[in-house]
Chains A and B, each alone.
Chain A
Amino acid sequence: QAGLISRSDSSSGEGSRARRAVERPGRHKQQGGRRRGAMSILEYNGSALVAMTGKNCVAIASDTRFGAQQLTIGTNMKRVFKMNDKTLLGLSGLASDVMTVSQKLRLQTDMYKLQEEREMKPSVFNNMLSSFLYARRFGPYFVEPLVAGLEGPENKPFIAGQDLLGASVFTDDFVVCGTSEQELFGTCESFYKPNLGPDELFETIAQCMLAAVDRDCLAGWGGVVHILTPTKYIVKELKGRHD
């Protein structure tokens, strides 16, 4: 399946040496006192994101939980950012890096617009993000991004997902990331249909998100869907279980 991003567990594989090179929560026995060996740094705050394509539209849905391991601190965290009129960026992973990466990318996108006097295309943005993450190969940002947008004058839907080192995967249906990744794969694979209009796409992506996060204790506590069409940008909040 083209949409499968394989994610290694925290004790082996790509990025594990890199992860140890960075300050790890739990080294100084911060709150909770739990040892971090069992849980990956990408799962510390908890998140769930999915991006889907429709007919001349794309959507990204995310949960809004902000937690510290098992404790829920906030229920209104922003994970999806509009980079320009044709590109949406969703970031899962460590909350601090979600904010840092979105801020740094906003700088890049805005500078591009000022220098080139045109907006960055979603595919170009995806490549830029990929280079940005790989530049930190041995001390990476602990985020797994999703890019969704409308490409070119025909507004062809574009989605892509990346791992924390910037390895991209391109599909034409959906991409998922976060602690609920596996649950989201299941719901999306079952509910997704190609060429849905904006309203149907919203319904589909919302149901996929809500069903998936209810099986994940680290994600949920509210949700939000961002829909991008050639003429409109719509943000809708989801009403889900807060537990």
Chain B
Amino acid sequence: STHASAHFIRNELAKAIRSRGGAHQANSLLGGVDEDGPSMYHLDYLGSLEKVNFGAQGYASYFSLSLMDRHWKKNMTMEEGKELLKLCISQLDTRFIINNPNFRLVAVTAEGKVLDEVLDGHAST
């Protein structure tokens, strides 16, 4: 399950911070759909874990989290979700100093991976 995977990864990350090699320098967002429904987990390279409704890592969080706070609602459809993501990306395009227009979108439902496409950033502005 998603919950179990998230906790497994968290334990590995937490083990690593005090190991000889040091922390795994990777922050992650884990999303999945299982019998309890869809869930998303925000993972830190130190092994902090938080179940979230939406998330962002890296510099994107400074621009996206507020937008998602405002626009995310429970049981959004796939289309509404994509629109919200495109809104976040367009905000990055406007306000973020690093020009990074192309994003890869991956979506998962109860049936499995249903989407794996490249969003052409230039089209979203």
Contact = CB atoms under 8 A, between A and B. Distances in A.
A71 to B, nearest CB: 6
A73 B18 contact: no
Contact of B62 (A23, A25, A71, A94): A71
A108 B27 CA distance: 30
Which residue, of B23, B44, B45, B49, has the highest number of chain A Cβ atoms within 10 A?
B44
Contacts of A99: 10, 14, 47-49
Given A22-B17, A23-B22, A99-B10, A73 B50 contact: yes
A66 B25 contact: no
B52 interface: yes
B48 A45 contact: yes
A73 B22 contact: no
Contacts of B18: 22-23, 139
Contacts of B25: 28, 30
A25 B45 CA distance: 9
Interface string B83-96: 00000000000000
Contact of B44 (A22, A68, A72): A68
Interface residues of B, number: 26
B47 A66 contact: no
Given A23-B23, A74-B42, A96-B14, A31 B48 contact: no
Contact of B48 (A22, A72, A76, A95): A95
A77 interface: yes
A105 to B, nearest CB: 14
A169 to B, nearest CB: 27
Residue with the greatest number of chain B CB neighbours at <10 A, chosen from A22, A71, A73: A73
A28 B21 CA distance: 13
A133 to B, nearest CB: 14
B27 A31 contact: yes
A157 to B, nearest CB: 32
Given A31-B61, A74-B42, A100-B47, 12 more contacts: A25-B46, A28-B25, A66-B48, A71-B61, A72-B65, A73-B61, A74-B51, A94-B48, A95-B48, A97-B14, A99-B10, A99-B14
